[in-house]
């Protein structure tokens, strides 16, 4: 199999609207991998098709169901926030294909280091719903045990996790195992020193790590053009890291690209950078108001490239997504939402105040023990005052 | 005199600073069109243009480091750090560069940089959005560290910070952004480096700053109902600390309670307790008491009421220094 994934090596076989060379940004190749067009047509890509040749219609339907389910999770969580059950939520709306296509390519012994928007990836790793929400409900410092699902808890400090992924990957390499670490981060994150340092370290150590950048066009109110004057994927080769730019709303293209990167990493070929070009269709978080900065029309433009709609069209065309099947998928999504809501409201809102001292250290700490016993005495004195 | 919120007072102070001196430039994430996540820079980019109010790429080291270069070039950068917990990527630039350049260049280079930091908890936020990192900076030579607690001070202190030739860490009490108060252009003119006595009292001196000043005032009001007279002092400047009014107060009351949201160990309260004990040892009737956040990470929202000093914890400390029954020492004045 030819190495299709070095920058600019692959050729585009489908032509996005307005993609004639004259329309392109000067000095820049319009170079994006797409296997499913927004209208649902399957386009050929000699470089990428072999990597998804084994994907059956049944598999595609599975990916479709995954995307419907995580969009439903997202809608339900947003509703839970509006109803006061969650303090905050960072919607993934629009980024389902980027997260499902990559997440489903991983093995259980791979390890994900994500930011705060990768609920879809967490779903593919098998995160329990309560664990997905407790952080956002404000009841615990984080949800799942990272080792139980092969995924670190979300990093809120922008970009920090890319270094963690690199170190984890270095450990895998030293241990002689072929597990891969995957760092998820945004377009905004690529400006942080940590992300650039991670690429230097990963290239220097030839660490089996994938840098998976979801370029959703925005970092809160800042458009990607403020962070990058060229395609983000263009940066990696300068660090000695091969990169790919894929249509992040095309689940099959994302799957193919991730498989290529995983294969390289497992075979000792080192890091790969993937820029998944997608769009944040919702607000940055439930506290944000995109009306203050999003140009009119932009949302509609991207809605026309919706990741779920296009796979739905493909599957309908193939007779796989019948009305019955669609109903079954929707029922599954609704059941998941129901289960998630129940898990959310079951989360303890008023933990014992003394648990504020728990888990700060792995063993006793004399200073903290003293504060804890003083606080316990204080709480007891309040009880005394009440009775 | 106009009534406005603390956030609006900062916005108005920044607008004045931008209008008064064309070397003043604002830098930060989402401060342009969005007006900052707390809207403190609302409309300023529209008014002064994108060269004066600059949306930066997402990198705090980048924000502070480029501010250093701008300052070298004669500008007065005002950097916004979006939330307290995001200052750490810029920490190296602040501590190793901003703080030391005047010293390193033997006074040749000035660093009139203001770093605005919304800080503190109480807003039910997720991790990294509720921290109180002020002690790190008060511990660093070369930085001035101040915090406002009301709209009037917000308005005048931000302008003074920007006009100051030294770097200033300006801590904004984020849960008080919506606190309303009168603001005038010519307030009492108390310099930003000075502490302010807010209520006169004879029994206990209670020192607070930033978000806990209103809490301290509430405690003083509650204590007054029980016949205890509390002198509340708003510290305002954490480096340098204006000790004179605190010393004078403690010589009168003989008792000191200090409160902050930041962790106790190595905090501003520790510095105050030590310094006042050194200076006023013979006037003290009781050991100074600290009411602070615990030496833990800031907890998830469901536990923040346990973490944050509140009225009852302040009154418990007042009882302690008054030698009344309290949770820590029973009937004794010291542990
Ligand atoms: C070090 C740091 N600085 C600032 C922030 C505040 N912040 C949270 S998300 C965000 C934008 C991130 O944009 P991007 O990396 O594109 O990810 P997206 O939110 O689009 O998924 C910012 C500035 C932060 N969390 N951490
Ligand atoms: Mg983004």
A158 contacts: CB under 8 Å, gap ≥ 6: A115, A185, A186, A188, A189, A192, B58, B86
Separation CA A64–CA B19 (nearest Å): 55
Distance from CA of B263 to the nearest CA of A (A): 11
- Percent of chain A with pLDDT strictly greater than 70: 91
Nearest beta carbon to residue A222 from set B30, B124, B307 = B30
Question: In this predicted model, what pLDDT tens digit does every residue of B285-313 receive, in sequence order?
Answer: 999 999 999 999 999 999 999 999 999 99
Work out the average pLDDT over A268-296.
97
Q: pLDDT at position A64, please?
A: 98
Separation CA A234–CA A274 (nearest Å): 10
Task: Using the mean position of ligand 1's atoms as its centre, give its distance from the Cα of residue A286 in Å.
Answer: 14
Q: For a pocket test of ligand 1, which of B30, B61, B63, B82 has the largest count of ligand atoms closer than 8 A to its C-beta? A: B82
Quote the radius of gyration of chain B (alpha carbons, Å): 20
Please confirm, yes or no, whether A284 is among the known catalytic residues: yes
DSSP state of B142: T
In B21-148, which ranges are continuous DSSP H helix?
44-48, 60-72, 91-92, 101-104, 134-138
Catalytic hit among A284, A310, A313, A341: A284
| A271 and A283 Cβ atoms separated by less than 8 Å | no
| A288 and A90 Cβ atoms separated by less than 8 Å | no
Separation CA A384–CA A374 (nearest Å): 15
The interface predicted TM-score of the complex, written ipTM, equals: 0.95
Q: pLDDT at position A383, please?
A: 82
What 3 state SS string does A327-362 have?
HHHHHHHHHHHHHHHHHHHCCCCCCCHHHHHCCCCC
Task: Using the mean position of ligand 1's atoms as its centre, give its distance from the Cα of residue B191 in Å.
Answer: 36
Work out the average pLDDT over A62-82.
98
A158 contacts in B (CB within 8 Å)?
58, 86
> From A222, which residue of chain B is nearest by alpha-carbon distance?
B30
Residue nearest to atom 12 of ligand 1 (CA): A219
Work out the average pLDDT over A353-364.
97
Q: Cβ contact (<8 Å) for A222 and B29?
A: yes
Q: For a pocket test of ligand 1, which of B36, B58, B85 has the largest count of ligand atoms closer than 8 A to its C-beta? A: B58
Work out the average pLDDT over B199-223.
98
Separation CA B233–CA B212 (nearest Å): 11
**Which of B296, B298, B305 to substitute to test the interface with A, most A CBs within 10 Å?**
B296
Work out the average pLDDT over A100-127.
98
Task: Compute CA distances B115 → A183, B99, B172, B175, B261, whole Å.
Answer: 31, 12, 10, 18, 20
The band of B7, judged by pLDDT with boundaries at 50, 70 and 90, is very high
Q: 3-state DSSP call for residue B98?
A: helix
Work out the average pLDDT over B279-287.
98
- Judge whether residue B13 has pLDDT over 70: yes
Residue with tokens 């995580």: A70
Question: Which ligand sits nearest to residue B58's alpha carbon?
Answer: 1
The domain limits of chain A are: 31-346, 353-386
Residue with tokens 């990428």: A48
Work out the average pLDDT over B22-47.
98
Tell me the longest C-alpha to C-alpha distance in chain B: 63
Question: In this predicted model, what pLDDT tens digit does every residue of B142-181 receive, in sequence order?
Answer: 999 999 999 999 999 999 999 999 999 999 999 999 999 9
Question: In this predicted model, what pLDDT tens digit does every residue of A285-321 receive, in sequence order?
Answer: 999 999 999 999 999 999 999 999 999 999 999 999 9
- Judge whether residue B188 has pLDDT over 80: no
**Counting atoms of ligand 1 from 1, which one is nearest the CA of A160?**
1
For domain A31-346, say whether CATH 3.40.50.300 is its number: no
Q: pLDDT at position A9, please?
A: 35
Q: Which residues pair with B116 in a beta bridge?
A: B80, B170
A350 contacts in B (CB within 8 Å)?
302
Work out the average pLDDT over A272-277.
98
Work out the average pLDDT over A146-160.
98
- Percent of chain B with pLDDT strictly greater than 90: 96
**Which of B131, B292, B302 to substitute to test the interface with A, most A CBs within 10 Å?**
B302
Work out the average pLDDT over A254-266.
98
Question: In this predicted model, what pLDDT tens digit does every residue of B90-104 receive, in sequence order?
Answer: 999 999 999 999 999
B102 contacts: CB under 8 Å, gap ≥ 6: B109, B110, B111, B142, B166
Evaluated on CA atoms B54, B60, B62, B64, the torsion sign reads positive
Nearest beta carbon to residue B302 from set A157, A192, A350 = A350
Residue with tokens 């230097």: A200
- Judge whether residue B38 has pLDDT over 80: yes
Q: pLDDT at position B330, please?
A: 82
The band of A19, judged by pLDDT with boundaries at 50, 70 and 90, is very low
Q: Domains in chain B, please, with CATH?
A: 2-183 (3.40.50.970), 196-321 (3.40.50.920)
């Amino acid at each position: 199999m030819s190495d299709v994934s070095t920058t600019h090596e692959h050729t585009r076989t489908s032509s996005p609207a307005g993609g004639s060379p004259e329309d392109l940004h000067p000095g820049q190749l319009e170079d994006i991998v797409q296997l499913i067009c927004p209208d649902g047509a399957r386009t050929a890509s000699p470089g990428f098709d072999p990597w998804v040749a084994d994907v059956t219609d049944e598999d595609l339907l599975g990916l479709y169901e995954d995307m419907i389910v995580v969009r439903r999770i997202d809608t339900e969580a947003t509703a839970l926030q509006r109803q006061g059950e969650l303090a905050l939520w960072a919607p993934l709306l629009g980024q389902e294909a980027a997260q499902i296509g990559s997440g489903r390519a991983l093995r259980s012994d791979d390890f994900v280091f994500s930011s705060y928007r990768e609920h879809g990836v967490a779903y593919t790793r098998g995160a329990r719903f309560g664990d997905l929400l407790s952080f956002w409900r404000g009841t615990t410092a984080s949800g799942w045990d990272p080792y139980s699902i092969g995924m670190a808890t979300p990093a809120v400090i922008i970009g920090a996790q890319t270094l963690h992924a690199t170190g984890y990957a270095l450990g895998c390499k030293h241990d002689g195992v072929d597990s891969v670490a995957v760092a998820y981060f945004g377009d905004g994150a690529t400006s942080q020193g940590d992300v650039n340092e991670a690429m230097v370290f990963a290239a220097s150590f030839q660490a089996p790590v994938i840098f998976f950048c979801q370029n959703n066009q925005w970092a809160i109110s800042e458009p990607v053009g403020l962070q990058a004057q060229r395609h983000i994927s263009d940066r990696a080769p300068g660090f000695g890291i091969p990169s790919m730019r894929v249509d992040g709303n095309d689940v099959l293209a994302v799957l193919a690209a991730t498989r290529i990167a995983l294969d390289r990493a497992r075979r000792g070929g080192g890091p790969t950078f993937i820029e998944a070009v997608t769009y944040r269709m919702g607000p940055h978080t439930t506290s944000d108001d995109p009306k203050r900065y999003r140009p009119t029309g932009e949302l509609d433009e991207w809605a026309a490239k919706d990741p779920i709609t296009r796979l739905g069209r493909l599957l309908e065309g193939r007779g796989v997504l019948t009305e019955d099947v669609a109903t079954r998928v929707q029922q599954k999504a609704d059941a998941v939402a129901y289960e998630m809501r129940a898990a959310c409201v079951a989360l303890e809102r008023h933990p014992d105040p003394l648990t504020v001292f728990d888990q700060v250290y792995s063993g006793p700490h004399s200073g903290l023990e003293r504060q804890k016993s003083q606080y316990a005495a204080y709480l007891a004195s309040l009880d005394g005052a009440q009775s | 005199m106009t009534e406005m919120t603390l956030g609006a007072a900062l916005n108005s102070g920044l607008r004045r600073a931008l209008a008064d001196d064309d070397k003043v430039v604002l830098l930060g994430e989402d401060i342009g069109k969005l007006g900052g996540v707390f809207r403190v820079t609302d409309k300023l980019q529209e008014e002064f243009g994108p060269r004066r109010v600059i949306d930066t790429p997402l990198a705090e080291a980048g924000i502070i480091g480029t501010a250093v270069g701008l300052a070298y070039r004669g500008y007065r950068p005002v950097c916004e750090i979006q939330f307290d917990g995001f200052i750490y990527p810029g920490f190296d630039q602040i501590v190793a560069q901003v703080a030391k350049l005047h010293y390193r260049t033997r006074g040749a280079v000035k660093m009139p940089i203001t770093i605005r930091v919304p800080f503190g908890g109480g807003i039910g936020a997720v991790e990294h959005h509720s921290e109180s990192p002020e002690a790190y900076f008060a511990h660093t030579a070369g930085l001035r560290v101040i915090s406002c607690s009301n709209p009037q001070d917000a308005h005048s202190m931000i302008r003074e910070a920007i006009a100051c030739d030294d770097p200033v860490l300006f801590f904004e009490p984020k849960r008080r952004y919506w606190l309303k108060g009168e603001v005038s252009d010519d307030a009492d003119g108390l310099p930003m480096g000075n502490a302010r006595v807010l209520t006169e009292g004879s029994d206990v001196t209670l020192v607070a700053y930033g978000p806990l000043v209103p809490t301290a005032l509430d405690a003083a009001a509650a204590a007054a109902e029980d016949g205890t007279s509390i002198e509340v002092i708003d510290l305002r400047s954490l480096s340098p600390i204006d000790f004179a009014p605190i010393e004078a107060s403690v010589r009168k009351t003989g008792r000191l309670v200090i409160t902050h949201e930041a962790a106790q160990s190595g905090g501003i309260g520790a510095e105050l307790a030590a310094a006042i004990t050194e200076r006023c040892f013979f006037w003290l009737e009781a050991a100074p008491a600290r009411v602070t956040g615990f030496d833990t990470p800031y907890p998830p929202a469901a536990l923040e009421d346990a973490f944050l000093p509140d009225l009852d914890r302040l009154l418990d400390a007042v009882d302690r220094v008054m030698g009344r029954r309290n949770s820590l020492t029973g009937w004794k004045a010291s542990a």
